[in-house]
Amino acid sequence: MAFTPSQNQLAAQVLSALPFPRPVGLGAHRYTDREVTPLVLSQNVPNPHEGETVIPFTLLYAADVRLEIFDLLGRKMAAVVRKGLSSGEHHIQLNLRGLCLPEGDYPYQLQVTSAYGVQSLTRVMTLTLDTAE
């Protein structure tokens, strides 16, 4: 499999000790002690938010993606599935206003399934309520 220069740069940025296969053919980049993480999950923007937010992430490989949002008791509040995403930068836009969630912190987990396995990363978003009505 051949990688483009931008994928080479991305691979260099997402080194990790997680158990995923090392990519082949990355030009001058040779990974001996660490392996490539196929996912970068960024913090949602804006954070805190009043119900609408965007979750950016980057995939090194084509994959199916599942985003789940939980309350602090571990109950699933919402889920979004995106199938067949290509490698590169992506985002999921959320409008949580219709869920009538109370103010607070909500962990979100992005699970990626690719030909190289399954990986998930978690961050926390903060929901605030608009008091000016």
Grouping H, G, I as helix, E, B as strand and the rest as coil, residue 32 is coil
> pLDDT tens digits for 80-112?
999 999 999 999 999 998 888 999 999 999 999
Q: What are phi and psi of 82, to 5 degrees?
A: -130, 120
Q: Look at residue 130 in the predicted model and tell me its pLDDT.
A: 72
Helices (H) and strands (E) in the chain, counts: 1, 9
Q: Look at residue 102 in the predicted model and tell me its pLDDT.
A: 93
Q: Look at residue 38 in the predicted model and tell me its pLDDT.
A: 79
Let me know how long the chain is. 133
Looking at per-residue pLDDT, the higher value among 23 and 68 belongs to 68
If you write DSSP's letter for every residue of 21-80 in order, what string do you get? PPPS--TT---SS-EE-SEEEPPPBSSSBSSEEEEEEEESS-EEEEEEEE-TTS-EEEEE
Instruction: Give CA 108 to chain center in angstroms.
Output: 9
pTM above 0.75, yes or no: no
